Structure 1
Amino acid sequence: MNGRVIADRYELSTVIGQGGMGQVWTAYDGRLDRRVAVKLLRPDRMAAATGADEIRRRFVRECRVTAQVTHPGLVTVHDAGKDGDDLYLVMQYVEGADLADHLAEHEPYPWQWAVSVAAQLCAVLAAVHAVPIVHRDLKPRNVMVTPEGTVVVLDLGVASVIDTDTTRLTHTGSPIGSPAYMAPEQAMGGAVGPYTDLYALGVLMHELLSGTVPFAGSTALGVLHRHLYEPPLPVRGLRPEIPEPLEALVLRLLAKDPQHRPADAQEVYEALTPMLPARGAAGGPLDPTRPFLRPFAPWPDRAAAPPPARPPATPRLDVAAAVDEVKRLLGEGGVTQAVDILGGILPAAAAEHGEHSPVVRILRKQYATTLMDDGQYRRALPELRRLADDRTAEAGPGDPQTLQFRYDAAQCLEQLGEPAEALAEYRALLPYHESGPDPARAFDVRRRIAGLLLAVGDHTAAGRQYQALLYDAERAYGPYHPLAADVRRQLERQRQFHNP
């Protein structure tokens, strides 16, 4: 972990992006206990002619404007300001793969996917251009494909903060901006507008369809020259299966003259609509066609397995320090960060001390408890089952700690919407609790069983369970105890439903 705290609130964790102008970090928002992304920009590394003070002023203005744009395909801006010599921008942390990596993993990119990505980008650009804001640096590295298949655009407004004169070369000979995606008018230092982003969209679509940008070269100036003077290669020359209307649209977007491009992002979207994939088309993990095939639908296989583990929050093995840090974080309400630290230290601790060592057992128990506190029941469940199995082998099925692990696992199943599995687990636990020293836990398990019987549709069995529970609760605690009163209300509610 970096340990640096920005604005007394955002603790930097891991670098996830780096360039000549700054870095992007994963970080923790200590005030709201959430994961965020923090972009740090160094004004002294930007346009010297513009001046650091002007860059700071422009940065604040652009952040204020871009934060007003709300769209599901646009990364949310949470905060911005100055910290020491750095300007910082705090954004929503987006899970998934950036479009450049996504393309590399699925090359050749299905043309239907390219259409789906472009259509989603048009929806974002239409919202952004209505403000109006011009992105200026639309490229695959600034686009994320989330596990749900939605496309999220990053770095809105950042290019305009760095420098409005995108053709000016730095001392390294590289232009400010991304030459491969730069519109001719932008390369020439002319006025930019929504049409500039449409050109970048055309470059991006050409890359998705052909596997390469239309204009490449060994130097930035060479690339810019080709943007200005060379016609792009039609994509059907490389992939004949691409529909002619799609090739024609890409060529229109890549027109040298902005007036020859589509009028706006809405027009591009309408041109793409007939080419969007039909329902029933083949999909796959991180499939960008999914939002059009099944809008907002849950993944059918997403509930079958826990989500991928988050990257470890600490690269070094210091179990004692990690435990102390977790205790501090939990005391301050930092559950999310505590989860990451525990998840990061567990594999290393198991490798060093052994999977069944006391230190690993303690860490795994804390990890499972913290995951439950964080509402991450799917990740907590396998940890609890592992703990229960180990404890059963060591101390037997009736051991209080074994029963607690299994009880917590049953709670996870309840929260995950698995009533039949949770019911089976509670029923297996009940005999141990009924013969144990804690009658309150036995009553609690019985009430949960009754509720789950209702959830699986066995109302008759649930009624019998509640009736028996009411009788035993009144005998043990009296008729006015909260448990008895609650069960009585539940039975009355059932009677009202069955006898209206």
Structure 2
Amino acid sequence: MTDAGELVAGRYRLAERIGQGAMGVVWRAWDERLDRVVAVKQLAYDPAIGQAAGQEARLRALREARLTARLRHPHAITVHDVVDEPGGPYLVMEYLPSRTLADVLLDRERLPAEEVARIGLQVSSALAAAHAEGVVHRDVTPANVLIGESGVAKIADFGISRATGEGTVTGGGFIAGTPAYLSPEVAGGREAGFPADVFSLGSTLYRALEGTPPFGTDDNAIALLLRIARDDVIPPKHSGPLAEVLLRLLQRDPAARPAMAEVQELFEAVTGGRPLPPPRPRPRAGTRLLRVRRPRRKLLLAGAAGAVLLAVGVVIGTALVPDSEPVVAAPVSSAPPPPTTTTAADLGCAARYEVTNSWPGGYQVQVTVHNDRTADLPGWTVRWTLPPGHRITGLWNGNYTVEGSTVTVRNADWNAKLAANATTTFGLIALTQNGNDAARPVLSCRTL
């Protein structure tokens, strides 16, 4: 093992160890050529994988580290150099006086939502830049998030967990990453991709907000992996926009998660006190989207066939009316709907329900609330009966309760007041046991 005072690659003088883990030892060192402090990581690999696999891991470490060295971002630890010589390989990186988020959480157990959101914004911006370069991190955990003395957060160790063979051993080989923060697909043995980084970031921030990872903890790594692969996330105790963002990141279906660039936008909205943008539709691969021509009128009465039912993964539309006039919507034909209209005085508060995306066992909904009155609305409430076997796992831009099968969504503080003819939206993610995402509930909209 390398000792303090040794010179690596003829220029990096090792000073003191500042960290040690399964992936090797980190040294504070001095770059004698450029006269600056650097961090030198002396990589190691898990001896359980054997000599031949260890050599392969060594070469992979060098290859991935060189790929990562292309990334330059203010919230990612920069890799300056990659050195392959006896005792190594070595990664020469930016030195940041810091503590890992894991160490911070040992002292504080959990962090305030505002602080978690700030960390999420910084780290997601770095990961979005990495994904744009084609780099997958594969091990986004509290141990790889560094918190500097000024509060700046930086992500470290891109791709190195897989390269060094560090991770949980399974019957088929190695699963790279820290078990408690793995995505379900990686826990099930699939390769980590961009959506896996999204899930792991959500898990990391969930741990910081809730005090425990989203699937809990277990000393038995195999048992924990099975739980991650099979079970649902433990619902967060916290509410509010940050919890809603984390639920979007922690969707079981990788295709239902936002891209990392969208994750950055979500955290920008949370830290800026703005409403969350609705999730972008994500049709399943091979699904052909049909274009629907929407009438240029205001919302139609549901009895006038104001709903649109398309194929799986496409939009389902339902026009809604107040409590006094609940009407079940019917699918429209290819012909334009009859010109049935209702005055603003008759409707008051109306809404439109759309399934914007669906996948096996779940779907995503956007509801648009519309003020049909000539005066401002001080608030609104939307209710409907949840179909049998369906349950809501997250809702944004509103506050919701479920009593039995009745769902009640009330306005958030920021979108309570609606001017005449104005609209607002809220969205939700729902899971279903029977796979029927095409149920069209009858909704009612009540004004305050």
The alignment status of 1:265 with 2:260, answered yes or no, reads: yes
1:169/1:11 CA distance change after superposition, 3 Å: farther
**SS at 2:223's partner residue?**
helix
Gaps of 5+ in 2: 275-448
- CA deviation digits over 1:94-139, x for unaligned, max 9? 1122112233444441101111111111101110001101100111
Decide whether the 8 Å contact of 2:46 with 2:165 is kept in 1: no
The alignment status of 1:121 with 2:100, answered yes or no, reads: no
**Number of residue pairs matched?**
270
**SS at 2:89's partner residue?**
strand
Whose strand fraction is larger, Structure 1's or Structure 2's? 2
How do 1:98-247 residues align onto structure 2 when only pairs under 5 Å count?
A: 98-163=100-165, 167-169=168-170, 176-215=176-215, 216-235=217-236, 237=237, 239=238, 242-243=239-240, 245-247=241-243
Could you say which residue in structure 2 is the equivalent of 1:254? 250
How do 1:420-435 residues align onto structure 2 when only pairs under 5 Å count?
A: none
C-alpha RMSD over aligned residues: 2.5
Distance of 2:243 and 2:260 partners within structure 1: 17
1:119/1:228 CA distance change after superposition, 3 Å: same
Distance of 1:29 and 1:54 partners within structure 2: 29
Could you say which residue in structure 2 is the equivalent of 1:486? none
TM superposition shift of 1:169? 4.4
The alignment status of 1:35 with 2:30, answered yes or no, reads: no
What amino acid is the match of 1:201? L
Distance of 1:220 and 1:47 partners within structure 2: 17
What amino acid is the match of 1:219? N
**SS at 2:41's partner residue?**
strand
What amino acid is the match of 2:214? P
How do 1:45-124 residues align onto structure 2 when only pairs under 5 Å count?
A: 45=47, 47-48=49-50, 51-124=53-126
1:125/1:21 CA distance change after superposition, 3 Å: closer
1:14/1:85 CA distance change after superposition, 3 Å: closer
Whose helix fraction is larger, Structure 1's or Structure 2's? 1
Distance of 1:74 and 1:163 partners within structure 2: 22
What amino acid is the match of 1:234? P
What amino acid is the match of 2:142? P
1:141/1:21 CA distance change after superposition, 3 Å: closer
Decide whether the 8 Å contact of 2:168 with 2:179 is kept in 1: no
Higher gyration radius (CA): 1
Distance of 1:38 and 1:159 partners within structure 2: 16
1:184/1:104 CA distance change after superposition, 3 Å: same
**SS at 1:189's partner residue?**
coil
What amino acid is the match of 1:190? R
Distance of 2:65 and 2:264 partners within structure 1: 27
TM superposition shift of 1:177? 2.5
TM superposition shift of 1:176? 4.8
1:151/1:233 CA distance change after superposition, 3 Å: same
1:91/1:52 CA distance change after superposition, 3 Å: same
Distance of 1:74 and 1:224 partners within structure 2: 28
What amino acid is the match of 1:110? P
Could you say which residue in structure 1 is the equivalent of 2:405? none
Query: Which consecutive aligned stretches of 4+ in structure 1 deviate over 4 angstroms post-superposition?
Result: 173-176
What amino acid is the match of 1:211? G
